[in-house]
Structure 1
Amino acid sequence: VHVNKRDIIFLLDGSDNVGKNNFPYVRDFVTNLVNSLDVGSDNIRVGLVQFSDTPVTEFSLDTYQTKSELLAHLRRLQLKGGSGLNAGSALSYIHANHFTEAGGSRTRAHVPQLLLLLMAGPSEDAYLQAADAMVRSGVLTLCVGTTRADKAESEHIAFNPSLVYVMDDFRSLPYLPQQPIQPLTTYVSGGVQEVPLSQP
Structure 2
Amino acid sequence: MSESDVMKAIENLRHGGGGRRLNVGAALQFVRQSVFASSSGSRGLEGVPQILILLTTKPSTDDMRSPALALKDHKIVSVGVGVGSVNFSDLEMVVFEPGFIYKVVRFSELPSIRSNLVAALNLIKDATESTSDLTVQQDSPQRDIVFLVDGSDETLSGFPYIKSFIKQVVETLNVGENGDQISVVQYSSDPQMHFSFNTYSDLQDILTTVEQLKHKGGGPLNTGAALEYVRTNTFAESSGSRHKEGVPQILILLSGGASQDEVKSIAAALKQDQVVAFCVGTKNSDLLELQTIAHVPSYAFALRQFEDIGRIYKQLVSFVKRVPRQTGSKPRTVFGKLITYLPTLLRQSVSLFSVASHASTQLASWLLSYLPACSFFFC
The CA deviation string for residues 60-113 of structure 1, in whole angstroms up to 9 with x for no partner, is 011101101100101101111112100110011011101111111000101010
**1:198 alignment counterpart:** none
CA distance in 2, matches of 1:2, 1:154: 24
Contact 1:2 1:111 in 2 (8 A): no
Task: Tell whether the 8 Å contact from 2:224 to 2:261 is kept in structure 1 after alignment.
Answer: yes
1:187 deviation in Å?
1.9
Instruction: Give distance in 1, aligned partners of 2:308 and 2:216.
Output: 21
1:52 maps to which of 182, 188, 192: 188
Pair member with larger Rg: 2
- Alignment length (residue pairs): 190
User: Aligned match of 1:161 in 279, 282, 297?
Assistant: 297
Distance 1:29 1:130 in 2: 26
SS in 1 for 2:238: coil
Following TM superposition, the consecutive aligned residue runs of length 4 or more in structure 1 with deviations greater than 6 angstroms are none
Distance 1:165 1:2 in 2: 21
For residue 10 of structure 1, the aligned residue among 147, 163, 166 is: 147
1:1-200 matches, cutoff 5 A: 3-19=140-156, 21-188=157-324, 189-190=327-328
2:155 is paired with a residue whose SS is: coil
2:309 maps to amino acid: L
Which secondary structure state, in structure 2, belongs to the residue aligned with residue 183 of structure 1?
helix
What is the TM-score when the length of structure 1 is the normalising length? Answer: 0.91
2:234 partner letter: H
1:2–1:143 CA distance, 2 compared to 1 (3 A)? closer
Give the aligned residue type for 2:328. Answer: G
Please state how far the C-alpha of 1:2 moved relative to its aligned partner: 7.9
- Percent identical: 35
CA distance in 2, matches of 1:81, 1:58: 15
TM score, norm. by length of structure 2: 0.49
Bigger share in strand: 1
Query: Partner letter of residue 282 of structure 2?
Result: T
In the alignment, the residues of structure 1 paired with residue 225 and residue 291 of structure 2 have an alpha-carbon distance, to the nearest angstrom, of 18
Q: Mind listing any 5+ residue stretches in structure 1 that lack a counterpart?
A: 192-200
CA contact (8 A) 2:186 2:194 kept: yes
